Amino acid sequence: MKDNNAATKILSARDAEVFRKHGWQAADLHVHTLFSPDVISVRSLHPERLYQTAKENGMDYVTFTDHDTMAAYDILSPEMEGLIRGVEVKIKDMKSVGHTIHINVYDLGNKQFQKLEEIAAAGDLHHFLYFLRKEKLPFVYNHPLWFEPGERPNLAIIPDLIKLFPAIEYNMHRVRRKNEMIMELASRYGKGLIASTDTHSGRIGQAYTISRGKTFREFYNNICQGKSYIVVRDLTKLDLMQEMNIWLDLISSQDMILKNKKISTGISHLDKLIAILAGNSLREFPRVYRAALAATYKIANSGLPAALYIRKESSRLSEIEQMLGIHTH
């Protein structure tokens, strides 16, 4: 019998450690490396370094879910303890859905990945899900209440979408009210619930899922059956300011592998400044570069970009709640 009471799902990190001492496993099931196009190319975000970070942070299973690429696994040894191949696939089915959704898939091979990419490119969600079930692949509906910039989401379809998935995600980069809605939807439809960081800056393991599982498949199946708990974190103004500082620290470090890479924080004005700082041209003028970097730190630490982003994230909450029939407190 599933236990999907949202109030019983959240544990503190301290309580989670007690469970882990009694044989439960932990995993942050949504993590990006420098192979994702919107991640800064620095050595600290290299898959091998992130694997070490995940293990140091107590993750028993480690997966990297880069955007529509599995390049990380070309350089990682399959013999690494607890390493699970994963990917985040984006699919836009205008006929059945009306907006883009993101799906994490785990424990898949290269041929399966290539087939999923072909189906996603055709925009056929039902064929995509049919293939996942036929191949018996673990999968999760990522951040159901986050939508691609510029898209007008079809909010009415979200409950029907959730019914199609075995598990949905509580995402560290969403505001708490959105995550509360996700918990209620998981409870309403009897779905498994994971918590993850969706980190693009190396903050792996700050939110995670614990469950029992001597194998990843057993771990995942227990999540889908509601036999799991989550350690959560939500997006706040302070947290977002800290995230911006991490991005700027990474950009200004001497650790850059690839420059002139397009980076997206979701805050358009900050993205423009970061693009300039991450490029090569400005670095040829050290004084100008240092001044521009200092100004960007000042803007980030003013709290204004973070406040504007939080306001944007929260702007449609009442509409979403009404459309989904949810009343959070």
pLDDT in the model for residue 278: 75
The model's pLDDT over 35-79, given as tens digits with 9 standing for 90+, comes to: 998 898 899 999 999 999 999 999 999 999 999 999 999 999 999
Q: Is the pLDDT of residue 7 over 60?
A: no
In this prediction, residue 12 carries a pLDDT of 95
What is the pLDDT, as a whole number, of residue 268? 67
Nearest to 262 by CA among 15, 63, 41: 41
pLDDT for the residue numbered 253: 80
Give the residue with greater pLDDT, 223 vs 253.
Answer: 223
Q: What is the chain's Cα-based Rg?
A: 20
Residues whose CB falls within 8 Å of the CB of residue 142, separated by 6 or more in sequence, listed in order:
30, 88, 101, 102, 103, 104, 169, 171, 198
Angstrom distance (rounded) from CA 219 to CA 84: 12
**Residue found under tokens 């007008």:** 152
Confidence at residue 2, expressed as pLDDT on a 0 to 100 scale: 53
- Note the pLDDT tens digit of each residue in 146-198: 999 889 999 999 999 999 999 999 999 999 999 999 999 999 999 999 999 99
pLDDT at 1: 39
pLDDT of residue 272: 75
Question: Looking up tokens 């999540």, which residue turns up?
Answer: 223
Single-letter amino acid, residue 153? P
For residue 248, pLDDT beyond 70: yes
> Each residue of 136-154: pLDDT tens digit?
999 999 999 999 988 999 9
pTM as predicted? 0.93
CA 86 to chain centre: 12
Query: What local confidence, expressed as pLDDT, does residue 326 receive?
Result: 87
Q: How far apart are CA 140 and CA 120, in angstroms?
A: 15
CA distances to 2, 84, 89 from 75, in Å: 39, 14, 20
C-alpha 121 chain-centroid distance: 21
Helices (H) and strands (E) in the chain, counts: 12, 11
DSSP character at residue 99 = S
DSSP 155: G
* Residue 3, pLDDT score: 52
Q: Which long-range contacts (CB under 8 A, 24 or more apart) does 178-183 make?
A: 178/145, 178/146, 178/313, 178/317, 178/320, 179/232, 179/234, 180/6, 180/328, 181/145, 181/320, 181/321, 181/324, 181/326, 181/328, 182/144, 182/145, 183/6, 183/9
- What digits encode the pLDDT tens for the residues 262-313? 666 666 666 777 777 877 778 888 899 899 999 999 999 999 999 999 998 8
- How are beta strands 100-106 and 83-92 bridged, if at all? antiparallel
Instruction: Walk me through the domains of the chain, giving residue ranges and CATH numbers.
Output: 6-235 (3.20.20.140), 237-312 (no CATH)
Query: What is the chain's mean pLDDT, rounded?
Result: 92
